[in-house]
Amino acid sequence: MSRRRVVVTGLGTVNPLGLNVADTWKNAQAGTSGVKRISRFDPSDFKAQIAAEVTEFDPEQYMPTKESRRLDRNAQLFWAAADQAMTDSGLSYDEDDPEALRAGVACGSGIGGIITFQDEVGVLLDRGPSRVSPLAITKIISNMAGGVASIQFNLFGPNICTVTACAASANAIGDAAEIIRRDDADVMLAGGTEAGIVELSLASFASARALSTRNDEPAAASRPFDADRDGFVMGEGAAVLILEERERAIARGATIYGEVLGYGMSADGYHITMPRPGGAGAARAMQHALRDAGLEPAAIDYINAHGTSTPANDSTETAAIKAAFGEDAKNIPVSSTKSMTGHLLGGAGALEALLCILAIRDGVLPPTINYETPDPECDLDYVPNEARDSDISFVMSNSFGFGGHNVALVFGGV
């Protein structure tokens, strides 16, 4: 029996480059930075004072006021992206629709409702246990974003939440594709979300010396693969892909953006935050994804890198790409869209997958902005500063998380 094929039939996103897919893609092609001084709270006492925030987002454009108050921003962002993706796909389900039993959700998030967590700890310490909200736990837990999507859109099939740090939403997309392939669902709403720009996380990442402190030049702070990179920039947002069994999508006349061809995973088994030197673990994930897709390394036309703008990640990922692709590595354009969006943590893989799908559709490689000074350890083609027209058939998207979680996804055109 041949393996069921999985295609992408809907897209939705809310992120620092735009509140929808069209604006996001327009700004990504233009090389626009979404990084600014933090506006949500006064960051003056912090080493890092910049982030890529989602501004002008109004959750009540997507949900009733009562519902928005019951959800952390993490889940609000996912609901909005999911709503866009469902509308784009043309799919909708009534509560008694038998096809709803074959439609599910896979959502990835690195830290869940940390805004609520921080706020409610403050309430507990300042006002006592009786004043803690009864909704605190349901707003904090990472799986609630996917749970409310299931409720809102009547998706009664498999419902999973992946929590693998910055690989979380890439895992969600890969796992969702596998669910469809093994015939446990026909449709999966898959993606990720993160809303972690709060004092606690900013202070912790800064104390770990992981964040850029280029506070006077926010738009220039995220500079993956550049010799003068000094850390990543926190971002927030959500992105969703509607995955669907190919024959079903064709039969209903759906718009098909692309196909999920390969999914590879590995573990570094090395350190809680640092990647394994030489990138052997990340290289294995890429090789597994190529094997799953049935492709030779030379077939890949573009790699959307994890590319965080930290010294260790970017040099290690470069080494990993060389290990996975051999001599072909020097011929493959590689860019990091985190140079524009900042790092969405658990939501990053989904947004980057969405950008890969659009790159295939339009034949455009998004750039790595702020690339000024070459690093001898980072010597690939990073599509510096300007988007590039290119014929694209197959792309790879890399996502690596704290704890040594490595994921690579391969997408193809139609």
Residues classed as catalytic: 166, 306, 343
> Cβ distance 104 to 179 under 8 Å?
yes
d(CA 117, CA 107): 19
| Adjacent-strand bridge partners of 15 | 18
Residue in this structure with the two tokens 């290990």, named with its chain if needed: 323
Which H or E run contains 68?
helix 65-69
Long-range contacts of 387-392 (CB under 8 A, 24+ apart): 387/28, 387/29, 387/30, 387/31, 388/333, 388/364, 389/363, 389/364, 389/365, 390/301, 390/302, 390/333, 390/363, 390/364, 390/365, 391/301, 391/363, 392/301, 392/302, 392/359, 392/360, 392/363, 392/365
| Adjacent-strand bridge partners of 51 | 36
d(CA 5, CA 22): 27
Residue type at 306? H
d(CA 344, CA 197): 10
d(CA 190, CA 104): 8
What would you report as the CA-atom Rg of the chain, rounded to the nearest whole angstrom? 20
* DSSP-H helix ranges across 103-194: 114-127, 136-140, 144-153, 168-181
Task: Give the pairing type, strands 394-401 and 302-304.
Answer: parallel
d(CA 192, CA 61): 20
